[in-house]
């Protein structure tokens, strides 16, 4: 048989290797920024167009390359950073594989311009799909500019696989944050489609964090410092009260390289134990300096995991160092003493203002007029939308406004919530033809602060209170957005929230929909957003948390439009506003929730597709007694 094995041509080998190195535009950004840092740059510019799909350019003022080096840099395994395998154990550079430029040049069009300090004239090279198109001398400042255009132009399958520009830009920004945080002494500028996203001057670590995440982050930071033989820990943790629902700001850097480590993450969590609410995440920016020979930087090009020689010691040091900082800066609440459990309120109640009882006078009330039957129209799912804004709330108030004590005095009726649950007649007339035979005049009770149990003719229903409320709120929000009928309560003092610039982008995207929901936005100044009005259902003290969660949810769904955006927002809001397991509901609220639930278009499943209630029939119960 004839020989069949052939060596792959270089450009094919490079394309295959590129698959490993370059997953998306952000991977190119990482490689180029790291090359610039390795070249000793003190100022680096990152220029992006269309989420990196049309252009990724990095301009640095580093050492530059000679004409020969410039040409060689695109060869595979061409590197100036290591000479032998031993060098791998004493790495001081980001790169060392000599693969990045070869890979990138295989799948894009690359324009390189570079000049060293002691040469008068620089080199320009154009290369496309591994093929050198031109090489010329140019006048260019010292340093290197590398422009990567039309990524994956020759691999359509990969190009189609890319996400929207907004999503790709977000990945790039994440990468940029990591590199910029690891090198505060280098100045960075980052432009997208011609506008400047970040301008980070040379600074210290704290200033760098603040420059990236906004002025308000300064007050959140608690310094961490510990110098041991094994590791030098420095950086900041965020005070426990600023723990977030989203996992955003968690950074480990080992020898100035961003890494991910579950193990070390748990060391930080362990230090915060008992200090933060369940379901929230502490922020941290931690630098670990270790002997380069004690770590194994994964040989895989894109992985960010690192193997430490002595992980357990590192864990212990990190945990105790952070605990120490939390204690020293007095940010750990003194839970162990002076603590009266009677005074402890669930988090949901914290900061809530008491609501003064109020008397409302019905000026249209005429004692001599004929008595009219209370309307039940708003109860029925079909009629509720038409009566959405006009329906006058019968007393007592909806259970929601009883529960969420809105600080303003005026509670506006939104029809949906104005449900009369007293009248047996009205309740029956609704539920008879919709939800089988639910009898809301029946007694309800709360089980384990989690379920609401009520009886129906055929037996009983057990309702998950949290999911039921999510459903009620979800439909209400969705309706508000689609009908554009959001009500708003003016805030006496506008709330100022600070966001990262990336979050500001998201906010601009969802602002219109939030406005229809009843949020009123004032000025947006860099990273500070002013909120002048909020929907009546939202308590002022909750606004911070709500936006926190909104951002977390929207980050995963950037670029959503129209209905899907309204859907995402309604889901996010209902999630944060709904009552939770553990919340005590009084009788009034229980009954009203049951009523509201069965007035929903879809009362069986929560917005997150979980069952809301189960019915247990008399038959089921009888069987148990057989
Ligand atoms: P690696 O970084 O692993 O060495 P790369 O393919 O990223 O491999 O780069 C190849 C070589 O090109 C580097 O070793 C370096 O000598 C040179 N190089 C790349 N980018 C720059 C730059 N911005 N400034 C100076 N030299 C560079
Ligand atoms: Mg490199």
Q: Locate the domains of the chain by residue range.
A: 10-200, 206-328, 444-615
- Smallest CA separation from ligand 1 atom 23, residue: 36
- The pLDDT of residue 322 is 93
- The pLDDT of residue 557 is 64
Tell me, what DSSP letter sits at residue 349? G
* Beta strands in 35-108, from DSSP E residues, in sequence order: 43-49, 55-60
Q: Does residue 340 have a pLDDT over 50?
A: no
Of the chain, the percentage scoring pLDDT greater than 90 comes to: 36
CA of 250 to the centre of ligand 2 (A): 25
Collapse the DSSP code of 496 into the 3-class scheme (helix H, G, I; strand E, B; otherwise coil) and give the result.
strand
Chain CA centroid to CA 355, Å: 33
**Tally of CA atoms within 13 A in the half-sphere of 439 that contains its CB:** 9
pLDDT tens by residue, 341-359: 333 333 333 343 444 444 4
Q: Model confidence at 488, in pLDDT bands (50, 70, 90)?
A: confident
CA of 197 to the centre of ligand 1 (A): 26
Same fold, 206-328 and 444-615: no
Ligand closest to 64 (CA) is 1
Q: Does residue 594 have a pLDDT over 50?
A: yes
CA of 33 to the centre of ligand 2 (A): 8
CA of 609 to the centre of ligand 2 (A): 46
Chain CA centroid to CA 210, Å: 18
Higher pLDDT, residue 581 or 370: 581
Please compute Rg for the chain using Cα positions. Answer: 31
pTM for the model: 0.59
Q: Model confidence at 153, in pLDDT bands (50, 70, 90)?
A: very high
Fold classification of 206-328 (topology level)? Ribosomal Protein S5; domain 2 (3.30.230)
Confirm or reject: Cβ of 65 under 6 Å from ligand 1.
yes
Contact 476, 378 (CB under 8 A): no
Q: Model confidence at 548, in pLDDT bands (50, 70, 90)?
A: confident
Ligand closest to 100 (CA) is 1
Q: Which of 571, 618, 545 is nearest to 246 (CA)?
A: 545
Confirm or reject: Cβ of 256 under 6 Å from ligand 1.
no
Q: Does residue 279 have a pLDDT over 90?
A: no
CA of 6 to the centre of ligand 2 (A): 29
CATH 3.30.565.10 fits 10-200, yes or no: yes
pLDDT tens by residue, 399-419: 444 444 333 333 333 333 333
CATH class, 444-615 region: alpha beta
Q: At what angle do helices 501-517 and 165-182 cross, to 10 degrees?
A: 140
Instruction: For the beta carbon of residue 166, count every other beta carbon within 10 angstroms.
Output: 14
Which atom of ligand 1 lies at the shortest distance from residue 103's CA?
A: 6
User: DSSP states of 527-549 as a string?
Assistant: TEEEEEEE-TTS-GGGHHHHHHH
Collapse the DSSP code of 68 into the 3-class scheme (helix H, G, I; strand E, B; otherwise coil) and give the result.
helix
- Smallest CA separation from ligand 1 atom 9, residue: 98
- Smallest CA separation from ligand 1 atom 13, residue: 79
């Amino acid at each position: 048989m004839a020989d069949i094995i052939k060596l792959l041509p270089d450009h094919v080998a490079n394309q295959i290797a590129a698959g490993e190195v370059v997953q998306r535009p952000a991977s190119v950004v990482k490689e180029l920024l790291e090359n610039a840092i390795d070249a000793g740059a003190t100022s680096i510019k990152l220029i992006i167009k269309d989420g990196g799909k049309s252009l990724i350019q990095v301009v640095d003022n580093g050492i530059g390359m000679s004409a020969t080096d410039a040409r060689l840099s695109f060869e595979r395994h061409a590197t100036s950073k290591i000479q032998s395998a031993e060098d791998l154990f004493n790495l001081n550079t980001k790169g060392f594989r000599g693969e990045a430029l070869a890979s990138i040049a295989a799948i894009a069009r690359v324009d390189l311009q570079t000049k060293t300090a002691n040469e008068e004239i620089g080199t320009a090279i154009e290369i496309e799909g591994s093929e050198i198109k031109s090489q010329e001398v140019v006048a260019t400042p010292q340093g290197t500019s590398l422009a990567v255009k039309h990524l994956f132009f020759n691999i359509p399958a990969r190009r189609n696989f890319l996400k929207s520009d907004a999503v790709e830009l977000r990945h790039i920004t994440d990468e940029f944050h990591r590199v910029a945080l690891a090198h505060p002494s280098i100045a960075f500028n980052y432009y997208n489609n011609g506008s400047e996203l970040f301008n980070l001057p040379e600074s210290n670590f704290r200033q760098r964090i603040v420059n990236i995440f906004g002025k308000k982050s300064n007050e959140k930071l608690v310094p961490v410092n510990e110098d041991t033989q094994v590791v030098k820990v420095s950086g900041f943790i965020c005070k426990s009260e600023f723990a977030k629902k989203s996992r955003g700001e968690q950074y480990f850097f080992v020898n100035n390289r961003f890494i991910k480590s579950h193990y070390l993450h748990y060391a930080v969590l362990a230090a915060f134990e008992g200090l933060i609410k369940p379901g929230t995440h502490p922020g941290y920016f931690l630098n670990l300096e270790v002997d380069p020979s004690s770590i194994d930087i994964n040989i895989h090009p894109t992985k960010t995991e690192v193997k430490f020689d002595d992980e357990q010691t590192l864990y212990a040091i990190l945990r105790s160092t952070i605990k120490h900082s939390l204690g020293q800066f007095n940010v750990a609440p003194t839970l162990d003493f002076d603590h009266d459990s009677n005074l402890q309120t669930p988090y949901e109640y914290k900061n809530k203002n008491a609501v003064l009882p109020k008397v409302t006078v019905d000026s249209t009330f005429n004692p001599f007029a004929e008595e009219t039957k209370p309307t039940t129209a708003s109860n029925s799912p079909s009629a509720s939308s038409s009566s959405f804004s006009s329906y006058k709330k019968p007393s007592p108030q909806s259970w929601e406004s009883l529960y969420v004590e809105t600080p303003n005095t005026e509670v506006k009726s939104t029809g949906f919530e104005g449900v009369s649950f007293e009248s047996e007649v009205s309740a029956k007339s609704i539920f008879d033809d919709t939800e089988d035979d639910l009898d809301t005049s029946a007694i309800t009770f709360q089980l384990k602060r989690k379920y609401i149990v009520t009886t129906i003719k055929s037996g009983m229903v057990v309702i998950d209170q949290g999911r039921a409320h999510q459903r009620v709120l979800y439909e209400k929000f969705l309706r508000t957005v689609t009908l554009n009928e959001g009500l708003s309560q003016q805030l006496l003092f506008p709330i100022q929230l600070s966001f990262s610039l990336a979050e500001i982008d998201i906010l601009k995207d969802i602002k219109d929909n939030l406005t229809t929901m009843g949020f009123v936005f004032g000025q947006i100044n860099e990273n500070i957003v002013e909120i002048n009005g909020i929907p009546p259902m939202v308590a002022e003290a909750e606004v911070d948390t709500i936006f926190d969660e909104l951002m977390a949810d929207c980050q995963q769904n950037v670029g959503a439009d129209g209905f899907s955006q309204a859907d995402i927002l309604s889901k996010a809001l209902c999630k944060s506003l709904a009552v939770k397991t553990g919340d005590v509901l009084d009788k009034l609220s229980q009954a009203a929730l049951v009523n509201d639930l069965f007035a929903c278009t879809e009362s069986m499943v929560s917005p997150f597709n979980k069952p809301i209630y189960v019915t247990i029939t008399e038959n089921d119960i009888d069987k148990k007694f057989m």
